[in-house]
Structure 1
Amino acid sequence: MRLVLGFLLALLVGAPTAAAVPPGVDVDYQLGGVSVPADNVGIVVRDRKADPAEGAWNVCYVNGFQTQPDERAFWRARWWLVLKKGGRPVVDSAWGEWLLDIRTPLKRQRLGAIVGRWIDGCARAGFDAVEFDNLDSWSRSHGLIRGRDAKAFARILTQRAHAAGLAAGQKNWAGLHGRRVGFDFAVAEECGRYRECAAYREEYGDQVLFVEYRRPDFDWTCDRHGRDVAVVLRDRALRPDGRRAWC
């Protein structure tokens, strides 16, 4: 019933009418494994294969533009949807992930159906929102993918999220003007390090979540934005027992 109502609402208005990110609580970023949130935490981001945290506003992590390292067999069976150069997959060397080929409407449609099933799974599990990682993977595609291809695919994903009754989160790519694409809030990693936080605030106001991985960047972000939005300091591996601090 929730999915049906969400789909009808999306058809009528195109996006959720309520604000997404709840105010006045901290965020925990738990992609490396789950743990019991601290008492001050009211927003939790977890992988789509994990269960949402009880009593929190939960964001479901979906790697929408690249492959997960442990899912290579899945994508080898759909090899035509993986971006290739000279017959070899284009790799995000930082994470060992293959880029998805979103260059044509047909491929975006087929990929949207695959990722869409994951989005629907997030809704069935009880998540409140979804964030799509590697939105900016076009910048690592050696010029094969254009920014407008990423925007076109992002529109497919945000519409699917809204149809499932979920708020849609932009992941990184400062300056995107994500509301035009259909995003409701943003999740930004290291905006303090790269001095990009203001770009997200200008677009989304307090509907942002900031994640930093270095103490000086965390302090900088807290000084300028910590009174208004949720900021968390995490270890880069995001271990369940890893470092956490809040403003």
Structure 2
Amino acid sequence: MRNHHRVINRRRGLAALAAGVTATAAAVALPLLTSGSASAAAAAVSLPPAHAGFDYQLGGAYTPPAGVSVVSRDQGDSPAAGLYNICYINAFQTQEGAEDEWDSDLLLHDSKGQVVEDEDWGEAILDIRTASNRERIAAKVNGWIDQCAAKGFQAVEPDNFDTFDRFPSYLTKANAEAYIKLLSAHAHAKNLAIAQKNTAELSGDHAANGLDFAVAEECADWDECGDYTDAYGNNVIVIEYTDKGMKKACTGWGSRLSVVQRDEYVVPKGTSGYVRKTC
């Protein structure tokens, strides 16, 4: 399986004051998954409006451009007033240089006892191989989800769901899905929708995993957008990073899905290298 491109992650900031926002999507009933069983109750969450103006602001928050109604921002930032806001969290890996913020036994180690890292991003991999570890890791990440809810975000975007795909010598699909269910149950308990980030091959399992919509990087470039729409209908947000990918996204999906082209490091507007294009 291939390694999807993933945009740069900013280090977590201090929690900001909560901000009130107005949801723009209708509420839908979704199953609430417990940590070890199937659906137990229903939680009302609001999905991002489909085929809406979208902006990906992980590299730093800025005033959303005209026409934008959905924004994804890092958990350290505050929501954009009046818009639908998605809260980005790095759920399967540590932030760069943040290994010390985790208990050592929750970090994945190789046979020599060295921490396994995503070398492209300098991030340690979290060890989700056992139920005990998954519970402890989820407890920390769910604390971030609580912060997202307190600030007024309407959804969360847990990144690196595909870590198992990139480190198959250590992690399995079953590990990833068992862990994501803990996060989706908690998100729903906080009345937050939760996105499937990339990992097109698991789209068919979205209901069992408790995932509500998709955030797909370069799905047009990789010819995978259909995998997401088969599962989520038009509730798919597409981010492309190249002109070629953007052209394919607009031609094939621009009339149905939220599509945006951003620069590789998703820098704020006014910063050198900033790119944002729409269909």
TM-score, normalised to structure 2, is 0.81
CA distance in 1, matches of 2:32, 2:216: 25
Q: Does 2:260 correspond to 1:232? A: yes
Q: CA deviation at 1:140?
A: 2.0
CA distance in 2, matches of 1:150, 1:53: 31
Who is 1:6 aligned against?
A: none
Contact 2:238-2:260 within 8 A present in 1 as well? yes
- Tell me, what secondary structure is at the counterpart of 2:127? coil
CA distance in 1, matches of 2:161, 2:42: 19
CA distance in 2, matches of 1:108, 1:93: 23
Identical positions, percent: 41
Q: Quick one: which amino acid aligns to residue 65 of structure 1?
A: F
Who is 1:4 aligned against?
A: none
Who is 2:116 aligned against?
A: 90
Q: Does 2:95 correspond to 1:68? A: yes
CA distance in 2, matches of 1:91, 1:14: 37
Q: Quick one: which amino acid aligns to residue 278 of structure 2?
A: W
- Higher normalized helix content (fraction of residues): 1
Match for 1:115 among 141, 144, 147?
141
Who is 1:5 aligned against?
A: none
Who is 1:150 aligned against?
A: 176
Q: Quick one: which amino acid aligns to residue 105 of structure 2?
A: W
Contact 2:32-2:210 within 8 A present in 1 as well? no
Which consecutive residues of structure 2, in runs of 5 or more, have no partner in the other structure? 1-30, 34-38
Contact 2:50-2:236 within 8 A present in 1 as well? no
How many aligned positions are there? 237
CA distance in 1, matches of 2:105, 2:85: 33
1:151-170 Cα offsets, whole Å, 9 max, x none, are 00000010010011100101
CA distance in 2, matches of 1:80, 1:106: 11
Which consecutive residues of structure 1, in runs of 5 or more, have no partner in the other structure? 1-8
Q: Does 2:223 correspond to 1:195? A: yes
Q: 1:207 to 1:15 in 2, by over 3 A?
A: farther
Q: CA deviation at 1:189?
A: 0.4
Q: 1:19 to 1:52 in 2, by over 3 A?
A: closer
Contact 1:21-1:208 within 8 A present in 2 as well? no
Q: Quick one: which amino acid aligns to residue 108 of structure 2?
A: L
Q: CA deviation at 1:73?
A: 2.5
Q: Quick one: which amino acid aligns to residue 118 of structure 1?
A: W
TM-score, normalised to structure 1, is 0.92
Who is 2:60 aligned against?
A: 33
CA distance in 2, matches of 1:18, 1:125: 16
